[in-house]
Amino acid sequence: MNRPYNGIMDDPQMIADATAVVLAGGKSSRMGQPKALLPFDGEPLIAHIVGRLGHVFAETIVVAAPDQELPPLPVALVRDQVAYQGPVSGIYHGLTAATKEVCFVTSCDAPFLNLALISHLVSQIADSDVVVPFWQERFQPLHAVYRRSVAPLLHDQLERDDLRPISLYPKVRTREIYEDKVRRFDPEGLSFLNMNTPEDYQEAVRRWHNKKNRELEIAPADGISVSVELFGVARLLAKTKSVSLSLPQDATLANVFSALAERLPILLGRIINSNGLISGYTCNINGLDFVRTPSAKVNSGDKIFILSADAGG
């Protein structure tokens, strides 16, 4: 049924003004079959990743190897000129093709994209050329944000046959996002989990199923469960009244917002951003306390209402 236009989705600025670049042109030699086409949650892995990114980015570019087979995707497709030249080449071609100034770059074998974390990384680019997470003593260049303006430097690296993305970082304004900050959005660092072998793939599929099952559980053994009730614009956007969320012990509202963004990406940028609720929204815990502070503690069984901060009428 055609519904009348009701103005709910009339804020295009809520989508990140940035491009997502997915590098898909790897050899997949240890996997034994093309990673991009591995079945994941009922669809090819590349489609799963592109679908997730579509919630946040207005534009997505897939960088593939020459002649690489891909399913139909709602993306701009770019082919490496030389096959298997590594990530620097992929990033370079992605940045060159992007129409936006800022690009989030990831690979096609990292299925656990955390949209709240990605949104936070993009929001940190203001005075930098690169924003890169530093997780467990390592940079994560294939889960990082790059300005298009660094493309010539990457080209120079390719000329010099320097194929390590991290060589770029000392030459530009690089902002590192440390582990404590990453954990606010992604406590287990699943965002950086990629798959190189069939065993990695099996493990990722298992984790994905567990994650989905956990979302349906009432009270997980190793964490807490809360329910989030949506009102007003949030309800109309999400097309649901409430969701249950599984959270770690000692969870705070920041965890709630992050998990909510994961579950209902449509709220990202419109109701929730990387700092919590956007201006104009508030939340109430159990109908009693109105709180916005992300550090506020939540307890198992809490009912968290997301509503307008304005009660006028």
Partner 1 sequence: MYGFHGRLLHVDLSSGQSSWSDIEQSRLREFLGGIGLGTSLLYDYAPPGVDPFSPANPLIFASAPLVGTGLTTTAKFAVVTKSPLTGFIADSLSSSYFALELKRIGLDALIITGRAAAMGYIFIQNQNVEIHPAEHLRGKSPVDTESVIRSELNSPLARVAAIGKAGENKVRFATISNEGRHAGRGGVGAVMGSKNLKAIALCGDHAIAVADLAGVDNIAGALRERSLSSLTDKYRKIGTVANLAVFNRLGTLPTRNFQRSTFDNADALSGETLTENNFSRRHGCAACTIQCERLFKALDGGEQRLEYETLFALGPLCGIDDPQSVLQAAQLCDVYGMDTISTGGTLAWAMECGEKGLWPEAQNLGLAFAQPEGILAAIAAIAERKGVGGLLAEGSRRAAIEIGGESMHWAMHVKGLEFPGYEPRSLKTMALGLAVSPRGACHNRSGAYEADFSGDVDRLRTDSKRGSLVAASEDFAAALDSLIICKFLRKCFTDFYREGADLLSKVTGWDYSSAELKRAAERIHNLKKLFNMREGWRCEDDWLPERVLSETLPTGIAQGVGLSADELREMIQQYYRARGWDEQGNIREEKLRELGLPADGSSTFQT
Interface contacts to partner 1, rule CB under 8 A = 3-4, 6-8, 10-11, 229, 231-233, 235-236, 270, 278-282, 284, 286-292, 305, 307-313
User: Is the Cβ of residue 32 or residue 280 nearer to partner 1 in the bound state?
Assistant: 280
Of the two residues 122 and 182, which places its CB atom closer to partner 1 in the complex? 122
CB nearer partner 1, residue 31 or residue 304: 304
Nearer CB in complex with partner 1: 78/304: 304
**Strand (E) positions, the chain?**
16-23, 39-40, 43-44, 57-64, 76-79, 102-107, 130-135, 138-139, 143-147, 174-177, 223-230, 242-248, 272-273, 276-277, 281-285, 289-291, 303-308
**Minimum gap (Å) between residue 11 Cβ and partner 1:** 8
CA neighbor of 237 nearest in space, from 218, 276, 215, 263: 263
Smallest gap from residue 275 Cβ to partner 1 (A): 13
Cβ 9 to partner 1 shortest distance, Å: 9
Residue 28: name the closest of 190, 164, 195, 193 by CA: 195
Joined tokens for residue 247 = 């959270």
| Nearest distance, CB of residue 288 and partner 1, angstroms | 7
Q: Residue 298 CB, nearest distance to partner 1 (Å)? A: 15
Nearer to partner 1 by C-beta: 206 or 297?
297
Q: Which value, in Å, is the radius of gyration of the alpha carbons in the chain?
A: 20
